[in-house]
A and B are shown apart, each in its own frame.
Chain A
Amino acid sequence: MQSKAGYLTGKLIELILTLLLVSLLVFTAFSIIPGDTARVMLGPQASESQVDLLRAQLGLDKPLPVRYGEWLWGLLSFNPGTSYAYNMSVSELIGQRLPVTLGMSAIAMVMVIIISYPLAILSARKPGRLGDQICSVIGHVLFAIPPYVASLLLILLASSLFSLLTVGTYVKPSDDFLGYVGCLLLPSFAIALPKIAMSFKFLRSSIIEQRNADYVRTSKSHGLSDLKILVRHVLPNSNVSSITIISIILSDILGGSLIVEQVFNLPGLGRLLLSAISRRDFPLLSGIVFYLALITVLLYFISDIASSLADPRIRLK
C-alpha cells in the first residue's frame, strides 16, 4: 500500500511529465504549419529582404531546440511573448478574452449543478415512474444535441418568441456586470444542456446504486427519513465519482465554449484562437492551446487528489 505522500509525488511527477509532453506536442505541431509567418505579416507586396529581416527579428531563424527552450520558459514564467499579429503581449490578449470564456464556463457549470442535482434526486426517489422516465428520455435527447445546434435553436426561439434577449452584443463585466451575465446566459445554457443530461444520468444511477447498498438499507431500518439518508450517506458517497465527472464536464464545457462563442459572436478565446490560426500567430496560438491544456491538466490533477481524499480506497488501485 502506498503512503499518501507517495501517491501525491507519483501524481505530481505524472503531472509534470504530461505537461512536458503536451508542450512538445504543441510545439512540434506548430513548427510544421505550412505558411511563412514573416511573409504573412508583411503581406504579398513585401520584398524578400524585408521578410528575412523580420524573420530574424522574430527569432525564427534560430534552430528549433533553442526556440523550443525559449518558448517553454516563456510559457512557464507566464510571459509567453508578443503576438505577431496584434503586436501585443499574449498574456494581455488572453486576459482580455478570458472573461468571456471563463464566465461562460462558470455560468454553464452553475446551471449544470442547480438543474441536474435536484432533478436527479427527485428522479431517483422513485425510479421507473413516469416523471423519472420523462426526465430520462429528455436527458437522452439533450445529450444528442451539439451545443452549437442548441445555440441556433435557442436563437431561433429567442428571436421569434421574445425579443428580450439580445443576441450578439457583448457587455464587458467592468461596464455592467448584470448585462455581462445576461449576454452570456443563452450561450451558457446551450453549452450546459448536454452536460445537464450527462450529470443527471450519472447522478441518478449512482444515487440508486448507493441506496441499494447495505449500509443505507440498515439506516432505513433504523427509521431515518429518505432525505436524511440522502444527505448523510448517498450524496457524500456519490460525490467521489461526481468529482471526476465534474472535471470531465468542465473540460468539455471549456471546449464547447470555443464553438458556441462563434455562434453568438462573443469575443472569447475561441475567436482569438481561430484568428491566431489564420494569421500564423505562433506565440498567441501556442499560448492559448498550452494554457487551456494546463487548465485541463490541473483540473484532472485536482480531481484525482480530491477523490483520493474523499475515498482512500482509490489510492489502492
Chain B
Amino acid sequence: MPNTHKNRSPEASAFYTAGLILLGIVVAAFIVSLFWTPYAPDATDAASKLVPPSLEHPFGTDNFGRDVLSRVMSASKYTIFISAAGVAIALILGTVAGIPAGYYGGFTDRGIMLLGNSIMCFPGILLALVAVAVFGPSVTNVIWALGLVFAPTFARVCRVGTMEIKELDYITHAHVMGVKPARIMAFHIFPNLVPQLLPATVIGLANMTLFESGMSYLGLGVQPPDASFGKMLSDAQSYIRVAPWLIVFPALMLVFYILGLYFISEGLRVSLSKGGK
C-alpha cells in the first residue's frame, strides 16, 4: 500500500473530507434504517396523500400517503447493497480473467480480451437493460448484469498491472524456483494489484449506482413496494408540478452517494499519483 495516510496533500484531504461527509450521510441513513424509520416505508395511508414537507413528515408523503423520509432511508439500503455486490462480482470475474491474461499473454490474453471487448462494445446500459429484461427484473438479476458489464473494466486494470509486475525480479525468481503459476498469481501478483484496484473499485461503485438507478427508473430494478431512488424518481415524475419534494429528496441522496464516491476516488488518485512521484 502506498502511504495514503501520511503526508497527505491538502488537495487529497479536501477530497477525502468532502467525500466521507457525503457518503456518510447516505451510509448513516442506511444504518439507522436497519433499526428504525419514522414510519414503515411501505405503509400506505389514503388519508394523507401528497402532503408537503412538514414536521410530521419532514420530506412529505407520496401519492400513496407513504412517508418519503422513511422511503429514502430504506432506499439507500438497496443502492449500497446492489453497488457493493455488483462490484464484488465484477472484481472477482475481472481478476480471475485479467491476471491470467496478463500473466500468460499470447493466445489466452487475446481470447480473454476479445471477450471483454465484445462486452464493452455494447453501450453498458444497453447490455444491462437487455440482460435484466430477458431474465426478469429482480435485485439479483440487476446485480449479475452489472457485475458482468463492469467485469471487463477490472480485467483491464488487472491485465495491465500484471504485465508490469510479472517483469519484476522476484516474480521471475519465483517462476524459476518452480512455484506454480496459480500460486504466483494469487499470492504474489494479486496483492500488488490492490493499489490499482482500489480506485477502480470506488469508481466502479459510483458507476454501478448510476446504472442501477437508471434501470430502476425504467422499472427494471428493485420491485415495488420496496423503495429505490430510481423508482421513486420515476414515480414522482407524474407529480413533478404538484409535488416537487418527491423528486428533490431522492435525487439529492442519490447524488450524495455518487458524488461522495467520486470525491474519495479523486482523493485516492491524487495521493497515489503524489506517492508515485
Q: Do A and B come from one complex?
A: yes
A interface vs B, CB < 8 Å? Answer: 14, 17-18, 21-22, 25, 29-30, 32-34, 140-141, 143-149, 152-153, 155-156, 159-160, 251-252, 254-256, 258-259, 262-263, 273-274, 277, 285, 289, 292-293, 296-297, 300
Is B262's CB under 8 angstroms from A156's CB?
A: no
- CB pair A259–B115 under 8 Å, yes or no, is no
State in angstroms the CA–CA spacing of A148 and B258 once bound together: 14
User: Which chain B positions have C-beta within 8 A of A148?
Assistant: 214, 217, 233
Interface hit among B62-70, B119-127, B171-179: B119-127
- Docked CA distance A135–B3 (Å): 29
Binding site for A on B (CB under 8 A): 114-115, 117-119, 121-126, 129-131, 133-134, 136, 206, 210, 213-214, 217-218, 233, 236-237, 240-241, 244, 247, 251, 254-255, 258-259, 262-263, 266
Known: A22-B118, A144-B206, A148-B233. A156 touches B123 (CB 8 A): no
Of the candidates B118, B125, B236, B237, the one whose C-beta lies within 8 Å of that of A258 is: B125
B133 to chain A, nearest CB (A): 4
| Docked-complex contact A29 and B131, CB < 8 angstroms | yes
- The contact of B123 among A30, A140, A251, A285, by CB within 8 Å, is A251
Given contacts A144-B262, A149-B254, A258-B129, contact A293 B237 (CB under 8 A): no
Give 10 pairs: A residue, B residue, CB < 8 Å, sorted on A.
A140-B259, A144-B255, A144-B262, A145-B258, A148-B217, A149-B254, A255-B126, A259-B218, A292-B126, A293-B122
Please report whether the interface of chain B is mostly helix, strand, loop or mixed according to DSSP: helix
- Contacts beyond the supplied A277-B133, A289-B122: 19 A-B pairs with Cβ under 8 Å: A17-B114, A18-B117, A21-B118, A22-B122, A25-B118, A29-B131, A140-B259, A144-B255, A145-B258, A146-B214, A148-B217, A152-B237, A152-B240, A153-B247, A155-B240, A160-B241, A255-B126, A293-B121, A296-B121
Q: Does A255 lie within 8 Å of B123, measured CB to CB?
A: yes
Query: Which of chain B's residues has its CB closest to A254's CB?
Result: B123
Q: Which residue of A lies closest to B250 (CB)?
A: A149
